[in-house]
Structure 1
Amino acid sequence: MALNYINSIPLHYQLFKEIEEKIYNGKYNEKIPSERELMDEYYVSRSTVRQAISQLVKAGVLERRRGMGTFVKIKPINDWLGNLRSTNETIEMMGMVPGAKLIESRIVKLDSELRRKTGLEEAYYFKRLRYANHLPLGIESHYYPVELGKKLVKFDLNKESFYHLMEEQLGVKSFDADQSITASIINPEDAQLMNLSNKLCVLHTQRKIIDVNEQFVEYEDAIYRSDMYAFNINLSRGFNID
C-alpha cells in the first residue's frame, strides 16, 4: 500500500498515522511488522520507517524490546466503578500523563431533556478533547450553572481539572453522582476531532453531580475510546454459613 508521495505531509508522518490507525482498529494487537515488512508494504525507505516508529515510541504507543521487535504499548485506562474521580486522576493512576484541549465554551439554552436532568433553563457549556500520553482518549461535554461556569471559564481549561478547580479554588465540596454507561458508535464530528475511524465503538457516559446540600453542580455527557478505557468492579457472591 503506497503512501501519497505528492502530498505535502511528510511520508514518515503519513506512516505514523497508518500504523497508529491499525493499532486503534485492532489490526496490530501485540507486535507490529518488522522494518523490512513495513518498507515493502508502504514502499518507503528504512529511515522513513524508523522515524515513524521512533515518534510512536516517543508518544507511548509502541515500545522496542531488544532482540524481539517493536510491540504495542497502549494499556486500557481502568476506572473503578463506585469512585467519583476526575479523568485527570484516573489517567495519572494508570501512570500516564493527562491532557485537555478546550473546544468550545458558551452559555446555552437547554432542551427539554437536559432541563429535566439539570433543573436549569440555561447552562454554561464546555466541550473538551481529553488526552492520555498525548493520545486522544475521549470528548467530554459539561453543563454547569451559569454563575459557576463564569468562574470556571477564567481558568486555563487546557490544563486544569474541573473537579480540582471546584474543590480547591471555588469551594464546591462533597460530590455525589448518578452515572450511566452505554455503548455507541462515534459520530462523524467527534471522530474527526479525535482523528479516528467513524465506525469506532465508544463508551458513552452520562453523569449528574450534586453537592452535599443536594444542589446541582454538573452534568457531563462524554464518550471514551473503548480500546483505551475500561471500567472495573469487584463482585462477590454471598453465602449463608450456619
Structure 2
Amino acid sequence: MALDAESSIPLHIQLSELLKGEILQGTIKEKIPPERVLMELYSVSRSTVRRAIAALISEGILESRRGSGTYIYNRPLEEWLGNLVTYNKTIDDLGMKPGAKLLSQGVVASTQELKDITQMDELYLINRLRLADNIPIAIETQYYPVNIGKQLSKFNLDEIVLYEVLESSLGIKLWEADQVISSTMPTKEEAQLLDILECESVLVIERSTCDYDGNLVEYLRGIFRSDMYAFRIKLGRNKL
C-alpha cells in the first residue's frame, strides 16, 4: 500500500497507522522490517521511518531491542476481573475502536445445560462477533429472558452496548455476576470467524449476571482469542 504524499496527514503518521494495521492483522509478525527495507518499500526518508517507529514504540505496540531490531510487543488486550466492565470500555481504554457484527438472534429452546443454568425453557439468543480496530477478538453468545431479549432486538445490535441499554433504556439494574474462565480448542467455524488456526487454543468465558433482586438477566458464553485477550485479577491477603 502506497503512502499519499499529497495528503494533509504527515507521512510518518500515515506510515505508523499502516504498520499498526498490518501488525494487528498479523501481516507483520514478531519483528518489523529493517529501516532500509521500509524506506525502499514506501519511498520515504529514514527520518520518516524513525518517527513512525518511535510513535508505535510510545504506544506500546513495538519495542526496540539494542543490536537486534524492533519487535512487536506481545501485549494482549486485558480485562480486569472483579468489575462488571463492558467489552467496549476495555477496548476504548486501550485506544482501539470497539466494534460488533451480529451473527444471529432470536428465540431458542433451552438445551438441558442452559435450562440447568437459567431455569428457563426458552431464551432470547444474541450472537455477535466482537472486534477491536476491525480485528476479530471474540465470539459472544448472550442469552436473555425472552421478554428482555425482544426489547433488546429493537436496537441496532451492531452498535449498542448491551449493558448500557439494559440499564439506561430498560431500567434493569445489573448487580453482580458469577464468571468462570477456562480454555478449549475452537470449532472449525469459530476458528474461521476469529481468523485463527483450529490448533490454537481459545479462552472460554461463562458468566451469569443478575439484577439487584437476584433475577437472572443474562447468561453469556464468550470465545476469546488467547493471543489477543487476557484477564487480570488483583489479589489481596487478609491480615489476621
TM-score, normalised via structure 1 length: 0.73
Hey, what's the Cα distance between the residues in 1 that align with 2:147 and 2:121?
13
Partner of 1:204: 204
Q: Distance in 2 between matches of 1:19 and 1:144?
A: 33
For residues 134 and 106 of structure 2, the distance between their equivalents in structure 1, rounded to whole angstroms, comes to 26
| Structure 1 residue 135 corresponds to structure 2 residue 135 | yes
What is aligned with 2:3? none
Partner of 1:180: 180
Quote the offset at 1:64 in angstroms.
Answer: 11
Please give the alpha-carbon distance, in whole angstroms, between the structure 1 residues aligned to 2:153 and 2:146.
10
Q: Give the match for residue 158 of structure 1.
A: 158
Deviating more after overlay: 84-93 vs 152-161: 84-93
Q: How many residues align?
A: 204
Structure 1 pair 100/151, CA: closer, same or farther in 2 (3 Å)?
same
Gaps in structure 1 of 5+ consecutive residues: 1-15, 39-44, 48-53
User: How many Å apart are 1:204 and its aligned residue?
Assistant: 0.3
Match runs of 1:1-242 below 5 Å: 20-21=25-26, 28-29=29-30, 31-34=31-34, 46=41, 71-72=71-72, 75-239=75-239
Q: Structure 2-normalised TM-score?
A: 0.74
**Residues 115-134 of structure 1, C-alpha deviations (whole Å, 9 max, x = no match):** 01011101110110001121
Do 2:173 and 2:211's aligned partners in 1 also have CA atoms closer than 8 Å?
yes
| Shift, 1:158, TM fit | 0.5
2:174 aligned partner, one-letter code: S
Deviations 1:175-232 (A, max 9, x none): 2111100011121101111222112211100001110111110000011111111111
Identity %: 39
Long gaps (5+) in structure 2: 1-20, 43-51
C-alpha deviation, 1:20, in angstroms? 3.8
C-alpha separation in 2, matches of 1:19 and 1:84: 26
Q: Equivalents in 2 of 1:211, 1:133: separation in Å?
A: 32
Partner in structure 1 of residue 11 of structure 2: none
**CA offsets, 1:125-148, max 9 Å, x none?**
011000112111100000001111
Q: Deviations over 1:80-136 (max 9, x none)?
A: 111111111111122221100000001100111100101110111011000112111
Aligned-partner SS, 1:136: strand
Q: Is the 8 A contact 2:142 2:220 kept in 1?
A: yes
